[in-house]
């Protein structure tokens, strides 16, 4: 393995099911009991991976084990807006204090609950791992929304701008549409 390469985690010894569950509200459980130590949850979150088959694993340098995730492994609990207009940056903080900016790499996805039809907005935190936006953060996002027509022959859509990309808030595929021109510097710091 070359320096900087990731090992193939599928070849790590599996410890089976770790009996860890992440509830819909972001609470981590071990053997049915909430993990009350946030530093421990934060540590576990750094070794969390999602495989192509949709299963979640905790992967250490020497072993890996399955865990259950009821919805999304993280919860977006805060939104910070930097700037304004099309170049504004929308920063999201997760329940484990990770920050990401809504951009081409950290996309927004909105689905709807099949029973209630309520929107279920998610942002990609890192490869294969999403955070569900809490209701107050989603309402804050909706308050920033504007109507945009992506192409001359498309219907207007409600969405938000971040780092020069438009992110629709409806349940259609929410791949960002780049604004005309270069979005500028891609620095990725905390807000």
Asked if 146 and 157 touch (Cβ cutoff 8 Å), the reply is no
Average pLDDT over residues 178-184: 42
Asked if 165 and 178 touch (Cβ cutoff 8 Å), the reply is yes
Cα 144 from Cα 124, distance rounded (Å): 19
Tell me the domains of the chain and their CATH numbers. 13-69 (3.10.540.10), 74-173 (2.30.270.10)
State what percent of residues in the chain have pLDDT above 70: 79
State both tokens at 79.
């939104």
Cα 93 from Cα 114, distance rounded (Å): 27
Asked if 162 and 89 touch (Cβ cutoff 8 Å), the reply is yes
Side-by-side strand order, sheet with 177-178: 146-148, 157-162, 165-168, 177-178
Cα 147 from Cα 158, distance rounded (Å): 4
Asked if 64 and 57 touch (Cβ cutoff 8 Å), the reply is yes
Cα 8 from Cα 139, distance rounded (Å): 40
Cα 113 from Cα 123, distance rounded (Å): 16
* Strand pairing report for 33-34 and 89-94: unpaired
Single pTM value for the model: 0.80
* 77-133 pLDDT, tens digit each: 999 999 999 999 999 999 999 999 999 999 999 998 889 888 999 999 998 899 999
pLDDT band with cut points at 50, 70 and 90 for residue 177: very low
Query: How many of the other CB atoms lie within 10 Å of CB of 100?
Result: 21
């Amino acid at each position: 393995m070359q320096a900087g390469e990731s090992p193939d985690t599928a070849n790590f010894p599996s410890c089976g099911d770790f009996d860890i569950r992440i509830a819909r509200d972001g609470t981590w459980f071990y053997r049915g009991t909430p993990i009350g130590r946030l530093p421990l949850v934060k540590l576990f979150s750094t070794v969390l991976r999602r495989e192509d088959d949709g299963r979640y694993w905790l992967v250490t340098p020497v072993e890996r084990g399955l865990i259950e995730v009821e919805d999304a492994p993280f919860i977006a609990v805060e939104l910070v807006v930097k700037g304004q207009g099309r170049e504004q940056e929308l920063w999201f903080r997760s329940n484990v204090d990770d920050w990401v900016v809504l951009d081409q790499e950290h996309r927004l996805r909105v689905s709807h609950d099949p029973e209630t039809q309520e929107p279920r907005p998610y942002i990609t935190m890192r490869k294969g791992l999403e955070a569900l936006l809490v209701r107050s953060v989603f309402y804050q996002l909706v308050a920033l929304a504007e109507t945009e027509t992506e192409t001359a022959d498309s219907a207007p859509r409600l969405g938000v701008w971040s780092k020069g990309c438009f992110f629709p808030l409806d349940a259609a595929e929410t791949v960002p549409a780049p604004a005309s021109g270069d979005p500028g510097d891609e620095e990725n710091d905390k807000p």
